[in-house]
Amino acid sequence: MLELADVSVDLEGERIVSDATLAVPDGSVTAVLGPSGCGKSTLLRAVAGIEPLAAGALRWDGADLAGVPTHKRGFALVFQDGQLFDHLTVGRNVGYALRLRRAPGTDRRVAELLDLVGLPDHADRMPATLSGGERQRVALARSLAVEPRLLLLDEPLSALDAGLRERLAGDLQRILREAGTTALLVTHDHEEAFAVADRIAVMRRGRIVQDGDLGEVWRAPADAQTALFLGYATVLDGARAVRLLAEAGLPAADVVALRRSALTLDPDGPLRARVREARATPDQVRLRVHVDGVGDLDAVASLDAHAGAGDEVGLHVDHTRLAVVGRP
Amino acid sequence: MKRRPVPAAWTVVLLAATLSACSLTATEEEPSAATGGDAGGRVVLVTHESFSLPKKLVKEFEAESGIDLEVRAAGDAGTLTTKLAVTADNPTGDVAFGVDNTFASRALDEGVFATTDLEVPAGAGDYTVPGDDGARMVPVDTGNVCVNVDTTWFEERDLDPPATLEDLADPAYRDLFVTPSALSSSPGLAFLLATVAEYGDDWPSYWDRLLGNGTRVVDGWSDAYFTDFTGGGGDGDRPVVLSYDSSPAFTVPKGGGASTTAALLDTCFRQVEYAGVLEGADNPEGGAAVVEWLLSEDVQAALPDSMYVFPVREGVALPPDWEKYAEQPDDPFTLDPADIAAHRDDWLEQWRDLTTR
Amino acid sequence: MTAPVRRLLALAALAAVPVAVLGLFFVVPVSGMVARGFWPDGEFAPDQVWEVLTRDRTLRVLAFTLWSAAAGTVGSVGLGLPAAYVLHRTALPLRRGVRSALLVPFVLPTVVVGVAFRQLLGAGGPLGFLGLDGSATAIVLGLVFFNVAVVIRVVGGAWEQLDDRPGHAAATLGASPVQVFRTVTWPQLRPAVVSAATVVFLFCATAFGIVLTLGGSRYATVETEIYLLTVQVFDLPGAAALSVLQLVVVLALLLVAGRTRSTPVVRRPATPHRLRRSDVVPVAVTLLLLAAIAAPVLALLVGSLRVDGAWGLENYTALSTTGQRDALQVSVTAALLNSLRTAVDATWMALLTGLLVAVVVTRRSRSRAERRTRRLLDGLFMLPLGVSAVTLGFGFLITLDRPPFDLRDSPLLVPIAQALVALPLVVRTLVPVLAGIDDRQRQAAASLGAGALRTLATVDLPVLWRPVLAASGFAFAVSLGEFGATSFLAREDFPTMPLVIFRLLGHPGELNYGMALAASVVLAATTAVVVLAVERLRVTSVGAF
């Protein structure tokens, strides 16, 4: 198990990571989620041993990692853009670490790994001839080849286009489960985090503001900003929150976060609202509605619903798509 | 972003404008080439880098003769001779000074110098090149390359300094002698020629003994004298050095008294430097006038202080320090320039094989 | 006219000026001098030339030349690599200053270094106990002293630009620092190292003063042998034979080196990292190198401050005079001014020619023949580094002697010769920058309606002006320190600093000797200031060969 205890990291005299405390249990995939520039990549590089700690401690199974150089930590890092060795073939990239150790059966193992990442027959290609998605798969295979104690992934999918990202995220999750690898992933994309990880830590301005099981964090964001970052569309507080919850017949709370799909059009719904705007998408109709005493909110309707601007409608509140913020 | 090149370009333009004032192209045009005919006009004197005469003398000469004297000095005597030899068919000047007796034959063989009817001054007859006898190459100055000793060093140790070439190979004087290379230094070559003159065909075996006795060979005269010699002002460790007969005049302590070094007069080889009008010169009359001027009493008297050599002209007064401390050998070693020319490469090659590894 | 033909013509037009310069001031003089050897008395006599090549001595000389140049290159690279790493990749305190300091010897005149080295290594010097004075080791040390700066500058410049992430990736895969260097860094660095090694080898193989001074003239190289045969023995066929031999060796070397030069490398300048425990060895090497380079320079400084066995500034105050018993024609300060003026000319000449060469060499080629031509041009301008100054110098005299090129007496001959020496460095500074500009930017500019000149102004110039300034500093410094060609061509009334120093050393009198040391210090300081100024304008790609 990897433990971070009050870890701080400085870059060029500036504090980038402050007092980060986090545990990555064996076999888990933990995602550090945060906006760009929040220090999550630096945190990852510190775990890898590339950046020195300014304060705090890193421990693996209780043993302090201070003074253990990068190459002796057994943590393999997959970079955002793969960082393949351009002067080596795909096969030699994947087998790189095995050859360093002069392990027997390198070729067979390389073939297995390329199979695992879905790139059989690519061993003799040069990295320059690969697409972005292929490069990331090769980078992943290369890192898995060393059977790392911990796999570190730095925004492994963010350089890819949306469709590919979704597909690769599924693959990544499958591969990590199959290999039983403990992994620490950093990303700014909550969908990527949800698709791959089972634990999550939210990071903002160098600090970890919340961490825990995916569902736990998901259901109870620590604060409004965290909620927004986790993909909640709107955060209501004070009287507006009370009114909405009351209208929906739910227990009162100070702050509540709503996903876009938390409100659905339902003529029998408890919440009355006026439609300001309606826009059709391939899956549903997206509405912008006004609720008295609450303000403008997002809502959705099925494609066959006929709601136009100015209509009075009823709304159903889906309590699984709404989270009470700040409740421990 | 877009604008950045503009100030940069202006900086460059301004800088270029400022710097162009420094450029050599801004040097004003030379007075146009030789007018020829009479002795006036421009005369180009080609010489080696050690050439030096008081500016006052040059100005006086130019004023009196109407000649505009341009001195082109570069390289040592060997480079000068080679330069004259390769440009014999289209010389770079009108008159040359500085070819010495070790290179004289090459200059004569390559037809560098034109015949003139200049008179060799009194006392200089001894110094002419045999066979030429002053027809093309006129002796201007002479000096002797001699082994020098640091007398103080020997006094302090109560030792007798060496006196002859033979002494230098004596184990009593082991590891004391330093000489510049015959390959890259003209006094070094002169010393080799001295040993040839003394030992004839047996000179290689003498050098064998000399080197076996710990003689150090260095690149140039200044290296030997200032870096290795104990009496040259540096932190040297060798009290015996190859230098000139005039050198002791430069090691007289500030307060006066005797010089701290002495030249061994039985080890000297005579060097003579010549001047001559170049074959194919634009202004041969002007060239001849310059040679005459070099032989004049004023220039001859200035030679010791300016170029550390003795005048060839009889009856020219020497500076007081020279009268006192620079003793000339009566009977230095000499070799016929023709002999030197015929055997130079053999000797140098043998010497090279003896000294290089 | 078809498009390819038009392109080739345009290429030829651009290349015309630099090629003409190289032809007139290099090819013609050298072949003129070599021809003298092949046609000794107007008759073609190659047997004399051949005879020289079959001598045992020639083989020995060639062997020693190759050995000493190889040893000097290995030493320079061996010491230069760790120093390049420390000075360009780590956050060593004062690294900027150290970087400039290490560059000073590269531009110090040979005479000065010779004096300084012998003061140190000579029997009476502080390192005299090593017994290195006059040994082959001393020659190699001297060569390393001069050339290590080239390695640091060239390799450091490339190293600085290497993306460090592949190295980190390798480390997280379990590669130790040594393994990271061997498997990741080295393959990317190799072209720069090979380029640097090539240039250093050329400098070493044609070293003249260092071999004579530090080797006590007991060692002969092809360069000293050419001098000897030409000047001392007047064996022009022999000298011609060796010159041709030299050219062949240099060409072979350039051909081999040219193959490794053009590997493209992803450039992403990394910020220097803090010193780590694993940096102990390279840091130690760097400090040692610094000490080794500082030692002769300090010896010089101390010597220049000693007057009559006491401390004093008299040697410096005397610099405004012509020395004891008028050893000089002009004062040292006047010579410094000459040096600066000459350097201005040499700089603009080298720069103008170098720019044209760089532009011609880096334009995208459309055909194999065109690419070959450009590569050939690229190599051609390295040649002046590899040819004997003696051959070139005498060649000047016998070939540039008739109108319209009667340049033998021109005051511009000295800067022209110096510009030829600086040209390869200028070209190698500008080429990587120009080659690094994405051709699509030029195409984009052209598609927006910019003509060729306008494209140059909007795309190339903004990137280029700093390297151009840096290259100027380089050329300026090289010109300040140049001795070989200058001593041959300079006029008595217009000597440069190195000549004046040499002359002072050749004249008796303690003050003259002290002045020579003081003048050396002044020249070294002037050079250092120029190099430091270049450092301030530093472009990351300077010297990326």
Per run of 10 residues, the mean pLDDT along chain C (length 545 residues) is: 69 84 88 86 78 83 92 94 89 79 72 75 74 82 88 80 82 86 85 83 85 76 86 85 89 78 53 76 88 84 81 85 74 88 90 88 74 79 82 84 75 85 80 71 69 73 73 82 77 79 75 84 82 62 38
Closest CA–CA distance from residue C203 to any residue of chain B (Å): 20
Per residue in A7-42, pLDDT (tens digit) is 999 887 889 999 999 999 998 999 999 988 888 999
Which pLDDT does position B262 carry in this prediction? Answer: 93
Report pLDDT for B22: 61
What value does the mean pLDDT take over residues B263-283? 93
Provide φ and ψ at C47, rounded to 5°.
-65, -35
Cβ burial, residue A81 (10 Å; 0-12/13-18/19+): middle
Are A46 and A7 spatial neighbours (Cβ–Cβ below 8 Å)? yes
**8 A C-beta contact, residue C492 and residue B71:** yes
Chain B's closest residue to C348, CA to CA, is B16
Q: Which domains, ranges and CATH numbers included, belong to chain B?
A: 8-142+272-320 (3.40.190.10), 144-269+325-355 (3.40.190.10)
Q: Give the per-residue pLDDT at C216.
A: 66
Q: How many CB atoms lie within 10 A of CB A228?
A: 15
Chains that touch B (3 or more CB pairs under 8 A): C
**What is the DSSP secondary-structure string of A71-133?**
HHH-EEEE-TT----TTS-HHHHHTHHHHHTT-TTHHHHHHHHHHHTT-TT-TTS-GGGS-HH
Residue from A252, A203, A186, A153 nearest A16 by CA: A203
Q: Which residues pair with B310 in a beta bridge?
A: B142
Which chain B residues touch C348 with a CB distance below 8 Å? 16, 19, 23
Query: Which residues, in sequence order, are bridge partners of residue A78?
Result: A153
Q: Which residues contact C209 (CB under 8 A, 6 or more apart)?
A: C110, C111, C114, C483, C484
Nearest-neighbour CA in chain B from C120: distance (Å): 10
* Spatial separation of the C-alpha atoms in residues C34 and C250, rounded to whole Å: 16
Rounded (5°) CA angle C199-C204-C205: 100
User: How many helices (H) and strands (E) are present in chain A, helices listed first?
Assistant: 11, 18
Q: Please say whether the beta carbons of A315 and A289 come within 8 A.
A: yes
**pLDDT over threshold 50, residue B6:** no
- What residue of C is the nearest CA neighbor of B106? C234
CB A43 within 8 A of CB A56: no
Q: Which amino acid is at C126?
A: P
Residue C54 pLDDT: 83
B90: DSSP letter: S
What percent of chain B is modeled with pLDDT above 90?
45
A139 and A113 in contact (C-beta within 8 Å)? no
Pick from C480, C262, C267: which is nearest to C375 by CA? Answer: C262
CA angle C159, C163, C168 (to 5 degrees): 110
- Report residue A66's pLDDT band, with 50, 70 and 90 as the boundaries: confident
CA A7 to CA A58: how far, in whole Å? 7
Handedness of CA C13, C14, C17, C21 (dihedral sign): negative
Average predicted confidence (pLDDT) for chain B: 85
Q: Tell me the C-alpha to C-alpha distance, in Å, between residue A253 and each of A243, A260, A325, A328.
A: 10, 19, 8, 12
What is the pLDDT, as a whole number, of residue B165? 94
The B residues from 192 to 231 touching C (CB cutoff 8 Å) are: 216-223, 225-228
CA quadruple C33, C37, C41, C45: dihedral positive or negative? Answer: negative
pLDDT in tens, C376-410: 887 888 888 888 888 888 888 888 877 777 777 77
Neighbouring chains of C at 3+ CB pairs within 8 Å?
A: A, B
Compute the nearest-CA separation of C439 from chain A (Å).
19
Question: For chain B, what is the total number of helices (H) and then of strands (E)?
Answer: 13, 10
Per-residue pLDDT of B34-91, as tens digits, reads 443 445 688 999 998 778 888 889 999 999 999 999 888 777 888 899 989 988 888 9
Q: For the stretch A197-224, what's the b/e string if a residue is b when 16 or more beta carbons lie within 10 angstroms of its beta carbon?
A: bbbbbbbbebebbbbeebeebbebbbbb
Give Cβ neighbours of residue C51 (< 8 Å, ≥ 6 apart).
C237
Residue ranges per structural domain of chain A: 2-228, 231-324
Specify the higher pLDDT residue, C256 or A200.
A200
Subunit contact C118:B83, Cβ cutoff 8 A: no
Beta pairing partners, A265: A315
| Buried/exposed A38-60: b ≥16 CB within 10 Å, e otherwise | bbbbbbbbbbbbbbebeebebeb
Q: Tell me: pLDDT of B333 over 70.
A: yes
ipTM for the assembly: 0.79
**CATH (one of 2.40.50.140, 3.30.230.70, 2.40.50.100, 3.30.420.40) for A231-324:** 2.40.50.140
Q: Which residue in the set A79, A139, A146 is minimally distant from C174, CB to CB?
A: A146
Which residue in chain C has the smallest CA separation from A78? Answer: C169
The pLDDT value given to residue C163: 78
Average pLDDT for B231-254: 86
pLDDT of residue B45: 93
DSSP H/E element including A324: strand A322-324
pLDDT at B200: 92
User: What 3 state SS string does A56-71 have?
Assistant: EEEEECCEECCCCCHH
Mean pLDDT of B259-280: 93
Answer whether B5 touches C (CB < 8 Å). Answer: yes
- Looking at residues B246-273, what average pLDDT do you find? 88
Structure confidence at residue C210 (pLDDT): 81
Distance from CA of B123 to the nearest CA of C (A): 27
Q: Which residue's entry shows tokens 């000339």?
A: B328
Question: Which residue do the tokens 């509540």 mark?
Answer: A256
Provide the CATH topology of domain A2-228.
Answer: Rossmann fold (3.40.50)
pLDDT tens per residue across span A113-161: 898 888 888 989 988 888 888 888 899 889 888 888 899 998 888 777 7
